[in-house]
Structure 1
């Protein structure tokens, strides 16, 4: 299974924001610079994460973005479910004539559920805690 770039960069943006001191704002430009992704793409990602409550956006001259909730409350499985289209294959009878007898769809669904169950075991905080190399790579002070 491969995540879309939207989900991939959404998770990366959350990781960066989680390394900020509590309440500190970052700019979308800084996030796009760190990950070398287009600003337009990141704006769409941040907008979606904001709609979901994972990111708070502050408008104005001194505005920016920050986490919308504590990192230890952001479960990776929840984020992926919210922004990733999780249909692995198209099993509609219009698309595949063996759907009524196919066993593959059940296996793939079990694999998808196992994938999400593993993500549910981890929070955003677990990705950044006790991870000085990450902070160095993101140019953040080591806590």
Structure 2
């Protein structure tokens, strides 16, 4: 299974925000600079993450973006569910004539559920806490304490 680039960069944006000192605002430009992705693409991603409550966007002179809730409350499996169209194959009867008898769709559904169950075991905090190489690669000073 391969995630879309939209979900991939959404997860990366959340990792970047979680690596920042608690409450620190940043900009979409700073996030795009860390990953070399199009600003326009990241604006759409941040907008969706904001609508889902993962990112707080503040307008104005001292505005920016930051996590919308603690990293320990952001479950990776749920982020993927919120961002990713998880239909692996098109099982509509107009597209596939074996749909009424197909057992593949059941197997694929089960596989996706297993995939998501593993991701449900991880929070955003799990991905950034004590991850020294991550802080170095993102050029962010690692906080001495994270909750």
- Structure 2: gaps spanning 5 or more residues: none
Number of the residue aligned with 2:109: 109
Q: Can you list the C-alpha shifts for 1:46-92, whole angstroms capped at 9, x where unaligned? A: 01100111000011112110000000000001101011000000111
SS at match of 1:66: strand
User: Displacement, 1:115?
Assistant: 0.5
Number of the residue aligned with 2:124: 124
- Structure 1: gaps spanning 5 or more residues: none
Q: Can you list the C-alpha shifts for 1:36-55, whole angstroms capped at 9, x where unaligned? A: 00000000000110011100
Superposition misfits of 4+ residues, deviation over 4 angstroms:
none
Number of the residue aligned with 2:8: 8
Give the TM-score taking structure 2 as reference length.
0.95
User: Displacement, 1:23?
Assistant: 1.0
SS at match of 2:96: coil
User: Displacement, 1:142?
Assistant: 2.5
Number of the residue aligned with 1:88: 88
Number of the residue aligned with 2:135: 135
Give the TM-score taking structure 1 as reference length.
0.98
CA contact (8 A) 2:19 2:142 kept: no
Cα RMSD of the aligned pairs, angstroms, is: 0.7
Q: For residues 48 and 102 of structure 1, what CA distance do their matches in structure 2 show? A: 34
How many residues matched?
143
